[in-house]
Amino acid sequence: MKNFLLFGSLGASEIIIIAFVILLLFGGRKIPELMRGIGKGVKSFKEGMKGIEDEINEDDSDKKTK
């Protein structure tokens, strides 16, 4: 069970095989679109997390002043 890490035991050859399979599944033209979508999703997630952190910090500062 120790060796069951998410990406801890992947070597270079396994990563190349995974990349090749992804290339076969999606094709060369779809990969940039896929990566762009993933990037937008990550950016949106980060913005959402920052907004939540800002709200928490505002609530904490409001409680301290009362």
> How confident is the model over 1-26, as pLDDT tens digits?
455 555 567 788 888 898 888 888 88
pTM for this one?
A: 0.53
User: At which residue do the structure tokens 């009362």 appear?
Assistant: 66
> How confident is the model over 49-64, as pLDDT tens digits?
999 888 888 877 766 6
| DSSP assignment of 1-66 | -TT--SSTT--HHHHHHHHHHHHHHHHHHHHHHHHHHHHHHHHHHHHHHHHHHHHHHHHHHHHHH-
**Quick one: pLDDT band at residue 45, thresholds 50, 70, 90?**
very high
